[in-house]
Amino acid sequence: MAGVHFVKNADLRAEIIKSKENGELTRTAIDMMILMSNKFAGNFIYFYEQDREDCIAVAIMNCYQYWRGYDPEKSQNAFAYFTQIIKNGMSKSWGISHKIPISKQVSISRHRIYSI
């Protein structure tokens, strides 16, 4: 993994299969999840560096929590599975740290817009 700046689907899939056989994530699989989270976080602009770090941490934690959910017999694309977990984790973290006050929320119906 040293010097590698991207994750190949086949390599990630192989590491997850190996992890499932061993009952725990391999160090290489963890490194891949960290790399994917860091790369995905680079697509966004953060007001504070700590917000970016929090989003990455939650994404990595979610990968660790849900890695067993990947079924290599149902899908060949482990990369897509973990990218979605990372995306959801970052979204969750962003939502927690940047809640919209209830006074600024809006409900839209077919005929009117209501302030909640």
Place of tokens 């790399």: 35
Considering the domain boundaries, does residue 2 fall inside one? Answer: no
DSSP 61-99: HHHHHHGGG--TTT-S-HHHHHHHHHHHHHHHHHHHHTP
Considering the domain boundaries, does residue 103 fall inside one? Answer: yes
Number of domains in the chain: 1
pLDDT at 43: 79
**Mean pLDDT over the full length of the chain:** 84
Provide Rg for the chain, Cα atoms: 18
Considering the domain boundaries, does residue 3 fall inside one? Answer: no
Per-residue pLDDT tens over the stretch 2-16:
556 789 999 999 999
Model confidence at 114, pLDDT cuts 50, 70, 90, reads very low
Token pair recorded at residue 9: 């689907």
Q: For the chain, what is the total number of helices (H) and then of strands (E)?
A: 4, 2
Considering the domain boundaries, does residue 18 fall inside one? Answer: yes
Residue 111 pLDDT > 60: no
Token pair recorded at residue 66: 């849900």
Considering the domain boundaries, does residue 13 fall inside one? Answer: yes
Considering the domain boundaries, does residue 72 fall inside one? Answer: yes
- Averaged over 28-33, what is the pLDDT? 96
Which domain, by its residues, includes 73? 9-115
In this structure, the chain runs to a length of 116
Residue 91 pLDDT > 90: no
